[in-house]
Amino acid sequence: MARKKRTPEEFSIDPAAQQMLIRADELGIGTAFTRADDMAPCPIGADGMCCKICGMGPCRLTKDGSTGICGATIDTIQARNLIRAISAGAAAHSDHGRDMAFTLKAVANDETEGYVIRDVAKLRTIAQIYDIPIEGRPPKEIANDLADLYIAQFGQQKGEVVLIKRAPEKRQKIWREQGVIPRGIDREVVEALHRTHIGDDQDPEHILQHAIRTALGDGWGGSLLATDISDILFGTPAPVLGQANLGVLKENMVNVVVHGHEPTLSEMIVAASQDPEIIAYAKAAGADGVNLSGICCTANEILMRQGIPAAGNFLQQELAILTGSVEAMVVDVQCIMQALVGLARNFHTKIITTSPKVKIKGATHIQFDEHHALTIAKDILRTAIDNFQNRGETKIPNVREDLIPGFSHEYINYMLGGSYRSSFRPLNDAVMSGRIRGIAAIVGCNNPRSQHDYLHTYITRELLKQDVLVVETGCGAIASAKLGLLLGEAGLDQVGPGLREICETIGIPPVLHMGSCVDNTRILTVLTQIVAEGGLGDDIDQVPAVGLAPEWMSEKALSIGAYCVASGAYVIFGGTSPVSGMPDRVADSDLVSHLISDGWEKIYGGKLEFIADPDEMIRKTLAHIDKKRAALGLPEYDPNRYGRSGDARMLELEELPWTERREALYGVAAD
Ligand code: NFS
């Protein structure tokens, strides 16, 4: 039976994406969207029921009671598949962190070109957490010690990863009792691979316990230190004006799109693009200059810190090339589609790989090395500029939206009280009073199996109406940015009255963009600080908060989900479950689903669920928030209680005649 082909409107809610998908169709070029239509997912693999870890298989388990050739049960196979995915995700995030730590070490020892320590205050704050002496020492000396400490966390064999101590104490105790504190970041990933080799760990519960330990090595290890070092080297984000969507590409300029994840390269390309020598080179080539933009989490890194525009999220990487206006797409690691190279052959775009870990056949490889960062960044830009003359017909959608990203936890702390009284107190108070009903972190990828950006933005909008403060990272944040939800004034007419009051008082958008996927650790830090501030429980699982990844597709997302659950959060993923187990055909295939939801909830207070229906996701999010409010003894959320004070009310009152205004304001009846 032929599969249904979706229209551009069904592929994406984003008008810029729709325009490019129409262009792709006219040119007869395939994209991830059309390939998703052409290829039905394998139902056995999708449900985690296929085992291919040895050469006796692959074994496909589709009947009640069936086992693999070695006797492995459905439950064991599902648990093994899940931990392998989580480990790959944790490895990707953490290896990014390792490279950041090496860069910090090299900067500390004057071995790099172009980098400086931008945030000395954060360096000192972080160093102090680990008792690294700071008084009277130059920043580079402190940075050297911190780099050594962080590098050591990867290869540590015994004991505890030091970053764990940044979690609430009660949480650390749970982890210690469960034996899931990572000993070393690399060790847990290696052990996950060992345990899942043929003939090793075959108890699903035991396998999943190690999945938690591996994921914690990501969230409270590799990712957390990646965020720390990025801030130290490139600056801790604070609000800045930016733009998002394909309309940020420019006709009259050399368009260079940086795509991937690590800020080391992209930050240097930002610096190189502003170099007078490069600008002159671009002008000599007939362009007005170099226009830089980002895709995926690289976009988030340079958007948060420099206000460099985001051309789009994961599903827009091909669409950017389809504009015909991109001279070079410079990629490093993660979320880079192999299809880019073939697609680029239809245009003049050069795909430039830069990581020693990532090569794509047909791409130009210019290897990045932090020791010669600025020189290499300029080489890359010259290659792009040389390509400007080869540009053919262009079609750039005139669609872009302003946004204000840059909400690091340090900034959130500051914005709530200013320099002298910075504190999470106002946020805690707002949640306690019910002005803010709760907090939702909406994060993660795009997935061409669902309508691009729809789930992210539908859920975001609906939760805002319910006075839920939303924090976002990754491709989800770019989805909201494109819809104008990351703007102060512009987004506020779409939010509930209590939340609106808070946003107006503090002067923030209702959706706070907190960075890249690695920066999900910022959300963990915010939750920890909320707990430390008091009034919302003494551990993360008591805070009225939920994590959602409505359009997830990557293994990194699964690792994030697992470490958030272990940290006490209720986490809802959209789409399909990788461990759902074909319940229509195999009656008893729900053990792993049960273990990661109810099972993990009993131990950690958080659980992982896969829910396809967005309304059900919203309903369960609100139910969880209300349950946590009740458990804390907070007043029941009342949508009509707030929203009658502050700027909005004053503006309304100004419309009234004085006597009525006086009565409304002071309760003094008209004479
Ligand atoms: Ni996160 Fe960033 Fe996007 Fe998903 Fe990929 S870019 S690290 S994995 S697709 S959010």
Task: Give the tens place of pLDDT for each residue, 203-258.
Answer: 999 999 999 999 999 999 999 999 999 999 999 999 999 999 999 999 999 999 99
- β-sheet with 545-549: strand ranges across: 511-513, 468-472, 438-442, 545-549, 570-573, 607-610
Q: Which amino acid is at 534?
A: G
Domains 242-390 and 404-637 equal at CATH topology level: yes
Nearest-atom number in ligand 1 for the CA of 554 is: 8
**C-alpha distances in Å from residue 572, one per residue of 511, 547, 553, 561, 564:** 18, 6, 13, 8, 11
Give pTM, 2 decimals: 0.94
DSSP element (H, E) containing 609:
strand 607-610
Task: Assign 669 a pLDDT band (cuts: 50, 70, 90).
Answer: low
Do 23 and 395 meet the contact criterion of CB atoms below 8 Å apart?
yes
Cα-flanking dihedrals φ and ψ of residue 530, to 5°?
-60, -45
Residue 652: band (very low, low, confident or very high) from pLDDT cuts 50, 70, 90: low
- Tell me how far the alpha carbon of residue 591 lies from the centroid of ligand 1, in angstroms: 29
| pLDDT single digits (tens) 313-349 | 999 999 999 999 999 999 999 999 999 999 999 999 9
Instruction: Please give the backbone phi and psi of residue 444, each rounded to the nearest 5 degrees, phi first.
Output: 95, -165
Domains of the chain, by residue range, sit at 9-60, 74-234, 242-390, 404-637, 643-671
Residue 300 Cα: closest atom of ligand 1: 2
Pairing, β 254-259 against β 50-51: unpaired
Residues contacting residue 173 through CB under 8 Å, at least 6 positions apart: none
| Average pLDDT, integer, range 32-38 | 97
pLDDT by residue (tens digit) across 21-30? 999 999 999 9
Q: What value does the mean pLDDT of the chain take?
A: 93
CATH of region 242-390: 3.40.50.2030
* Maximal C-alpha separation, the chain: 93
Phi and psi, residue 349, nearest 5°: -60, 135
Name 470's bridge partners.
440, 511
For domain 404-637, give the fold.
Answer: Rossmann fold (3.40.50)
Counting from 1 in the atom list of ligand 1, the atom nearest the Cα of 313 is 3
In percent, how much of the chain has pLDDT > 90? Answer: 84
Helices (H) and strands (E) in the chain, counts: 30, 16
Q: In what order do the strands lie in the sheet with 350-353?
A: 364-365, 350-353, 326-331, 254-259, 290-295, 310-312, 242-244, 401-403
* pLDDT of 402 strictly over 70: yes
Q: Where are the beta strands (DSSP E) in 283-382?
A: 290-295, 310-312, 326-331, 350-353, 364-365
Residue with CA at minimum distance from ligand 1 atom 7: 517
What's the CA-to-centroid distance between 136 and ligand 1, angstroms?
Answer: 41
Q: Residue type at 539?
A: D
Would you state the CATH architecture of domain 74-234? Up-down Bundle (1.20)
Pairing of strands 242-244, 350-353: unpaired
Residue among 565, 549, 331 nearest 459 (CA): 549
Tell me how far the alpha carbon of residue 336 lies from the centroid of ligand 1, in angstroms.
10
What is the predicted pLDDT for the residue at 651? 58
Contacts of 655 (CB under 8 A, 6+ apart): none
Estimate to the nearest angstrom the gap between the alpha carbon of 43 and the chain centroid. 28
Do residues 343 and 321 touch, judged by C-beta distance below 8 A?
yes
Amino acid at 624: H
Task: Give the whole-angstrom CA distance, residue 560 versus residue 495.
Answer: 28
Ligand 1, from 93, 95, 297: best to mutate by most atoms within 8 Å of Cβ?
297
Integer Cα distance of 375 and 165 in angstroms: 39
- Residues with beta carbon inside 6 Å of ligand 1? 261, 296-297, 314, 335, 444-445, 474-475, 516-517, 554, 556-557
**Ligand 1 centroid distance, CA of 556 (Å):** 8
Which segments of 301-427 are extended strands (E)? 310-312, 326-331, 350-353, 364-365, 401-403
Cis before 58? omega within 30: yes
In this prediction, residue 661 carries a pLDDT of 66
Token pair listed for 257 = 């799109």
Q: Tell me what pLDDT residue 670 has.
A: 45
Instruction: Determine the distance separating the centroid of ligand 1 and the alpha carbon of 351, expressed in angstroms.
Output: 19
Strands (DSSP E) found in 533-590: 545-549, 570-573
How would DSSP label each residue in 3-24?
PPPPPHHHHBS-HHHHHHHHHH
Task: Kindly indicate the confidence band of residue 418, based on its pLDDT and cuts at 50, 70 and 90.
Answer: low
Of the pLDDT bands very low, low, confident and very high (cuts 50, 70, 90), residue 660 is: confident
Mutation test of ligand 1: which of 475, 513, 551 has the most ligand atoms closer than 8 Å to its C-beta? 475
For residue 265, the model assigns a pLDDT of: 92
Given the CA of residue 518, which atom of ligand 1 is nearest to it? Answer: 7
